């Protein structure tokens, strides 16, 4: 008996009703509401050099293939979700997220892809959706080319995990190749950034070359000049930033937005910060030496970046016209280095938590503010300077002081052994490692001295017995005696280092003893002592306080 039945299917493209004669799918006898998912990035092509037309054609082919599959099954197409030009390394994609939202709403009970790599190339995330998320939502997942069907027992399912891992390896391999290619271009003095540094723009003919942007280059020159002038009065990055904000100068991110499609969450604030000023002042790009590689992506699947130490930056001189002279740039670097080397010593007087309290939301420092009632509050400095850019985050100084001191007291009361508290110190482990390293080297060198003594003694015995000639003995004795002298000198140097280290450690331990004594007894606690123990204190809008210590509490 023919168990086929008529199924009415609505075709969106033509806006008409059509009737299909098709077999009902025998997996729990239902017609599925399908979300077709299509994705492609240029990295999916050989060497990542696909044209826009090739990418568009591939998207079209995927749509046609998947739509045909659904039609043959007589299922319903809820929507076609397309992420065009988006990497499979991340699952944070606009249309993928929209599809998940519709799954959560119960509108989709089947997800259809061309193959597993279209869903994503991160094997952990892909496996999580395939093995956990879709089954938990009773959603059928089909990757046609790979033979994956989570509602059937197929050989494709058996290979799914291995195939997903291979897709992941593809990301890693592509990432390494791209990085090597970019590094080569950087070392050749080619600019490879998506957006040019503030003060410059890309050459209209050669996109890998920078030319001066006359609209804002004078702002860069102003930043260098004001930093040099302000240094004489003890001013720094913040003072320069405040001046730019007072004059309504657009930040680099705001300026980029006026020039095209540039999305950055920080751009909404429209404020210059000490950090944005510092980045300009420390970039050799502004003296005509293209500087790249200042940050490094943590991984092919991670969006965050690490700051790279200056000695590893890729700097190529003479690649473009400078905005400031080499002399001006050098002077600024010397002033910055001098300020960092000889910072203003924090005062014991004043507020207990000066320089330690930060807004948990915007990251700016909290400042102290006296109310009409005579009490002192800590409030967000960004809110104080620019109303509407953040909220007050107000908390009484008395309350936050008590919170911090009580928590330190709690930690101290748990540590009965003072030595245990010393070990918690952030520098203790490093001191131990240095001491152990010196001792290991000393032991090796002293053993070598003893070996040389025994060798010379043995040579003398062989000479007496006639085994070794007088000439050979004298030559070898001279060689080993010379080595012994060199080793003895190294031992002396290391022992001097050890003495200095012991002296420094004794001084540090004495200081730490005094700090611990004050901490345990809750007396003579001041800002300097707190800065030795506390990294930062963060205050949220609802007055939640997070204390981050410089040791493992």
Which domain-ending residue is among 139, 174, 209?
A: 174
pLDDT digits (tens, 9 = 90+) for 278-336: 999 999 999 999 988 887 766 555 566 777 888 888 889 999 999 999 989 998 998 88
Q: What is the pTM of this model?
A: 0.43
Res 252 pLDDT > 70: yes
Residues 153 and 240 in one domain: no
- pLDDT tens-digit map of 198-208: 999 999 999 99
Q: Using 50, 70 and 90 to split pLDDT, how confident is the model at 23?
A: very low
**Best CA proximity match to 142, nearest among 167, 121, 116:** 116
Domain count, the chain: 2
pLDDT at 434: 57
Residues 159 and 33 placed together within one structural domain of the fold: yes
Q: What percentage of the chain carries pLDDT values higher than 70? A: 72
Confidence band of 473 (pLDDT split at 50, 70, 90): confident
Clarify whether residues 129 and 220 are in a common domain: no
List CB contacts of 380: < 8 A, sequence separation 6 or more: 359, 361, 362, 364, 366, 367, 390, 391, 392, 393
Provide, for the chain, the percentages of residues in helix, strand and coil under a 3-state DSSP scheme, each rounded to the nearest 5: 50, 15, 35
Long-range contacts of 430-435 (CB under 8 A, 24+ apart): 431/501, 431/505, 431/508, 434/501, 435/498, 435/501, 435/505
Mean pLDDT (the chain, rounded): 78
Task: Please identify which residue in the block is written with the tokens 């809750």.
Answer: 522
Asked if residue 210 lies in contact with residue 196, where contact means CB atoms within 8 angstroms, the answer is yes
Task: Specify the pLDDT at position 133.
Answer: 92
CATH number (domain holding residue 20): 3.40.50.1390
**Mean pLDDT for the stretch of residues 441-452:** 86
Give the CATH number, domain containing residue 307.
Answer: 3.90.1750.20
CA–CA separation, 455 and 479 (whole Å): 11
Q: Is residue 98 part of a domain?
A: yes
Domain boundary among 274, 309, 341: 341
Could you say which of 290, 313, 341 is where a domain stops?
Answer: 341
The verdict on residue 520 lying in a domain is: no
Residues 159 and 235 in one domain: no
Per-residue buried b or exposed e for 198-224, using 16+ beta carbons within 10 Å of the residue's own CB: bbbbbeeeeeebbeebeebbebbbbbb
Q: Are residues 39 and 141 in the same domain?
A: yes
- Residue 7 pLDDT grade (very low, low, confident, very high; cuts 50, 70, 90): very low
pLDDT value of position 227: 92
Residue 373 has pLDDT above 60, yes or no: yes
**Judgement on whether residues 242 and 95 belong to the same structural domain of the protein:** no
Percentage of residues in the chain with pLDDT exceeding 90? 26
Q: How far apart are CA 487 and CA 502, in angstroms?
A: 22
Amino acid 283: pLDDT: 92
Asked if residue 101 is part of any domain, the answer here is: yes
Q: Give 122-133 pLDDT, tens digit per residue.
A: 777 888 898 889
CA distance 427 to 364: 27
- In terms of residue numbers, what domain contains 44? 5-174
For 384-440, the pLDDT digits (tens) are 877 777 888 999 999 998 888 888 877 766 654 555 555 544 444 445 555 666 788
Residue the block writes with tokens 């963060």: 538
pLDDT of residue 169: 67
């Amino acid at each position: 008996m023919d168990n086929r039945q008529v199924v009415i299917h609505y075709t969106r493209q033509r806006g008409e009703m059509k009737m299909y004669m098709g077999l009902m799918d025998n997996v729990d006898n239902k017609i599925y509401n399908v979300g077709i998912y299509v994705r492609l990035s240029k990295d999916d092509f050989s060497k990542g050099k696909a044209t826009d037309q090739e990418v568009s054609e591939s998207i079209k082919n995927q749509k046609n293939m998947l739509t045909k599959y659904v039609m043959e099954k007589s299922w319903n197409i809820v929507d076609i979700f397309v992420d065009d030009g988006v990497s499979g390394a991340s699952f944070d994609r606009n249309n993928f997220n929209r599809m998940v939202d519709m799954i959560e709403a119960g509108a989709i009970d089947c997800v259809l892809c061309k193959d597993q790599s279209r869903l994503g190339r991160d094997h952990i995330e892909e496996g999580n959706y395939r093995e956990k998320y879709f089954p938990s939502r009773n959603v059928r997942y089909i990757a046609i080319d790979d033979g994956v069907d989570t509602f059937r027992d197929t050989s494709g399912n058996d290979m799914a995990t291995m195939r997903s891992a291979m897709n992941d390896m593809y990301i890693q391999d592509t990432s390494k190749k791209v990085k090597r290619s970019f590094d080569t271009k950087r070392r050749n003095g080619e600019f490879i950034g998506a957006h040019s540094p503030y003060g410059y723009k890309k050459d209209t003919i050669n996109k890998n070359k920078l030319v001066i942007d006359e609209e804002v280059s004078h702002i860069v020159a102003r930043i260098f000049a004001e930093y040099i002038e302000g240094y004489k009065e003890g001013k720094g990055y913040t003072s320069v930033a405040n001046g730019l904000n007072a004059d309504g100068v657009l930040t680099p991110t705001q300026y980029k937005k006026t020039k095209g499609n540039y999305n950055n969450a920080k751009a909404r604030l429209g404020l210059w910060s000490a950090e944005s000023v510092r980045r300009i002042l420390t970039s050799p790009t502004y003296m005509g030496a293209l500087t790249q590689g200042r940050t490094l992506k943590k991984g092919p699947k991670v969006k965050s970046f690490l700051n790279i130490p200056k000695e590893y930056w890729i700097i190529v001189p003479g690649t473009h016209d400078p905005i400031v002279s080499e002399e001006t740039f050098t002077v600024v670097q010397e002033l910055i280095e001098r300020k960092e080397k000889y910072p203003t010593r924090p005062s014991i007087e004043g507020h207990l938590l000066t320089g330690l309290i930060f807004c948990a939301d915007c990251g700016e420092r909290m400042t102290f503010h006296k109310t009409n009632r005579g009490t002192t509050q800590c409030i967000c400095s960004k809110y104080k300077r620019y109303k509407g850019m953040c909220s007050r985050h107000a908390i009484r100084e008395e309350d936050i002081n008590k919170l911090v001191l009580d928590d330190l007291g709690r930690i101290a009361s748990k540590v009965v052994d003072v030595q245990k508290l010393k070990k918690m110190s952030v520098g203790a482990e490093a001191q131990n490692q240095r001491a152990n390293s010196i001792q290991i080297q000393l032991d090796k060198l002293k053993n070598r001295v003893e070996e040389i003594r025994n060798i010379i003694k043995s040579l003398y015995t062989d000479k007496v017995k006639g085994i070794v000639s007088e000439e050979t003995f004298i030559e070898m004795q001279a060689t080993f005696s010379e080595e012994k002298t060199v080793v003895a000198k190294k031992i002396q140097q290391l022992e001097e280092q050890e003495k200095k280290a012991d002296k420094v450690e004794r001084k540090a331990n004495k200081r730490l003893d005094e700090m611990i004594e004050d901490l345990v007894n809750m007396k003579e606690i001041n800002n300097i002592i707190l800065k030795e123990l506390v990294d930062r204190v963060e205050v949220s809008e609802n007055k939640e306080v997070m204390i981050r210590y410089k040791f493992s509490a």
